[in-house]
Amino acid sequence: MRKIIKKLKKIIIIMLILAIPQISFTGCMNQVELEKLAVILAIGFDLDNDDNYIVSIQIINTNTDISGSSKVNNYIAEGTSIFDALTNLYKEIGERLNYSHIQYIVIGDSMARKGIAPIIDFSLRYSEVRPTTPFLVTNGDAKDIVSANVSTDTMSAFSVTNLLNLQRNRGETAFTTNLNLVNSMNHGSKSTTCGLINMLPSKLDKNKNYDLSGAAVFKEDKLVGYLTDKETLGFNWIRGNITAAIIAVEYPDHKKMSLDVTSASKKTDIKINKNHINITVNIKVQSGIREMTGDIDPNNNPSIMDKISERQNQVIYKDVYMVINKAQKDFGLDIFDFGTEISREYPNQWDYMSKDWNTIFKNLKINANINSQVNKTGVISKPPL
């Protein structure tokens, strides 16, 4: 037994000795390599009047030890193709571009209307770019978004990431990755949405702040229009993407109240009978009172909570039908992806309706059932004054 233990000890010691040089060398090699990389945090794509690509990037400034230096550097280059523009960026920077830490990809309006297929191809074909990279569209130029100076001390690319995570839960933007885009464009109505980002003047200083609200709508790979913030809320209620939202309602006598959504779910019921399609979206919401005014006390009068719940139903219902009308009348596109759900539940029927699905969708009657419950008043029941 002792001999076996001694042999095991020798084997372990030999393995450790062999492992130490590999660990050391690997660490050194990575450290040297990082110093030669231009780590991209954000990348934007625009088109000029001659249909040349304008690519803008934000990279981490490795000289942050210099007093007064910026945390990031911004670069812009043109090219006849995406790869040509990126090659020109490489020549200017003199460091190998690293794409594995990109926080978002933003596309200017002119580029988006021309078609974003080349950008999607680049983002999925190049192995360093993550397939979970968020795609955004701006009304103006992407280069202005990438190079913006914002009021916060955070690197602006991370400011967008933080804002995107907040707004996607509240339903005020559409969260779409490069992989989501290619999947949506090849299924159902071949339409998709992604978040809309613009700049607003800061109230604190001369810098600007990001405005991430609303959504861009694509037919295949071309931009066809935009959704407002309210229409985007309705879109996300239908898609079941909302987990935390603030809903403003009015109580009788024009008393204002803010409700905090604590949970939400949706279920879509689709029935097909003799080519007649019946779609019903069932939305369930629970929320609590975040703030209110007026001389009312919900705990002493439970019927008040029922009335507030009904007001919440009305607000959600209005947003839902606003975006349904926009999708059917203005775009003629099933941006809600009902077609994909039909293809799963009724594959045989979908085979003959898939080619004309967007035309069929325009004339569908879509029902919405909103069942919301306000069940929390907070620490106090009535306003203190």
Q: What pLDDT sits at residue 172?
A: 93
pLDDT digits (tens, 9 = 90+) for 273-289: 877 899 999 999 999 98
Answer for the pair 268, 337: CB distance below 8 angstroms, yes or no: no
97 in helix, strand or coil?
Answer: strand
Mean pLDDT, consecutive 10-residue stretches, the chain (385 aa), reads 55 51 45 68 95 95 60 93 94 91 96 95 89 96 91 80 91 93 80 94 76 95 96 96 90 81 94 89 93 78 86 95 97 94 91 90 94 81 63
CA-CA distance, 108 to 74, in Å (whole number)? 17
| Amino acid present at 6 | K
Domain positions in the chain: 36-227, 229-385
CA-CA distance, 190 to 356, in Å (whole number)? 11
Give the right CATH number for 229-385 from 3.90.580.10, 3.30.9.10, 3.40.50.300, 3.30.300.210. Answer: 3.30.300.210
Nearest to 277 by CA among 210, 367, 148, 185: 367
Q: What pLDDT sits at residue 37?
A: 82
Q: H/E element holding 117? A: helix 117-125
What string of H, E and C letters represents the secondary structure of 14-39? HHHHHHHHHHHHHHHHHHHHHHCEEE
